[in-house]
């Protein structure tokens, strides 16, 4: 069974489902996306790994795990999303120490958080992508949608049973990690103060959006 390499396309908050975030994985050599609904804590853990310049005041759980592995010469080689049962994704972390390889079962969000911190590749099997993969149109193609999507849930764990269909509808109309210009009325100083406060409060998803807004303004100068 062939493996397909994936990359992270983006994370977005669901405006229709309180506390739900959509993590979109992108097929490297194709156009399909693999959507996974995750919770706020899992979204923050992934966002802080993506935004490398955001340093939490205290180590997150996944950062502690990374430090532990480094101390004992354990390397995460790759992550494989290997099964989809009743709308739940199952993943494995492939580790190695002293030339001995071990396979550890993990929630998909945890596995991806660790893969980012170890710079390890993420894979899934072709049959999973055939079943759960979808095509997400870009924002400029929003009015040209002519494909039908299933309403089946594709969730990270049993505690997340929000319907993915509404989250996908949002992604069909907004770009990943974009939620509109919610900080347009703030000055640069106010944005920097808000960014510092968000990091102190460990609200890394908000911190990432603030940093993006600051980057846009700096580029427009």
What CATH number is associated with residue 119?
3.10.690.10
126 lies in the same domain as 207:
no
Give me the domain span that covers residue 133: 3-138+163-174
Burial of residue 182 (number of CB atoms within 10 Å: 0-12, 13-18, 19+): exposed
Cβ atoms 24, 171 nearer than 8 A = yes
16 lies in the same domain as 109:
yes
Q: Which residue stretches of 86-203 are H helix?
A: 108-118, 126-132, 164-171, 188-200
Distance between CA atoms of 135 and 194, rounded to whole angstroms? 36
Distances (CA, A) of 55 to 49, 72, 81: 9, 23, 28
Residue 179 domain flag: no
112 lies in the same domain as 12:
yes
Tens of each residue's pLDDT in the chain, 221 residues: 689 999 998 887 765 555 678 888 999 988 888 888 888 788 888 888 887 666 777 788 898 999 999 999 999 999 999 998 877 899 999 999 999 999 999 999 999 999 999 999 999 999 998 888 876 544 334 444 444 444 444 555 544 434 444 544 444 343 344 444 677 778 888 888 888 887 777 677 677 778 777 777 776 65
Tally of domains in the chain: 2
Residue 207 domain flag: yes
99 lies in the same domain as 28:
yes
Instruction: State the pairing for strand pair 122-125/75-85.
Output: parallel
132 lies in the same domain as 197:
no
Instruction: Extract the tokens encoding 24.
Output: 């979109």
216 lies in the same domain as 111:
no
16 lies in the same domain as 117:
yes
What is the CA angle 9-91-206, rounded to 5?
Answer: 40
Residue 95 domain flag: yes
Nearest to residue 85, comparing CAs of 43, 114, 127, 30? Answer: 127
Q: Which residue stretches of 37-180 are H helix?
A: 40-50, 61-71, 108-118, 126-132, 164-171
Residue 33 domain flag: yes
Residue 74 domain flag: yes
């Amino acid at each position: 069974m062939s493996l397909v390499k994936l990359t992270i396309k983006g994370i977005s908050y669901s405006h229709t489902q309180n506390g739900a975030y959509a993590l979109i994985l992108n097929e490297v050599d194709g156009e399909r996306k693999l959507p996974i609904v995750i919770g706020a804590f899992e979204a923050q853990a992934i966002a802080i790994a993506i935004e490398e310049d955001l340093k939490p005041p205290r180590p997150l759980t996944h950062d502690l795990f990374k430090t532990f592995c480094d101390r004992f010469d354990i390397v995460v080689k790759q992550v494989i999303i290997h099964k989809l049962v009743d709308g739940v994704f199952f993943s494995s972390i492939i580790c190695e120490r002293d030339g001995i390889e071990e396979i550890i079962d993990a929630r998909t969000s945890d596995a991806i958080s660790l893969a980012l911190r170890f710079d390890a590749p993420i894979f899934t099997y072709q049959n999973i992508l055939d079943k759960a993969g979808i095509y997400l149109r870009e924002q400029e193609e929003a009015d040209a949608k002519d494909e039908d999507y299933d309403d089946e849930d594709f969730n990270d764990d049993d505690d997340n049973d929000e319907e993915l269909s509404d989250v996908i509808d949002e992604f069909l109309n907004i770009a990943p990690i974009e939620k509109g210009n919610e900080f347009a009325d703030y000055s640069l100083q106010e944005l920097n103060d808000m960014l510092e406060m968000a990091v102190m409060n460990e609200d890394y998803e908000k911190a990432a959006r603030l940093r993006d807004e600051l980057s846009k303004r700096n580029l427009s100068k």
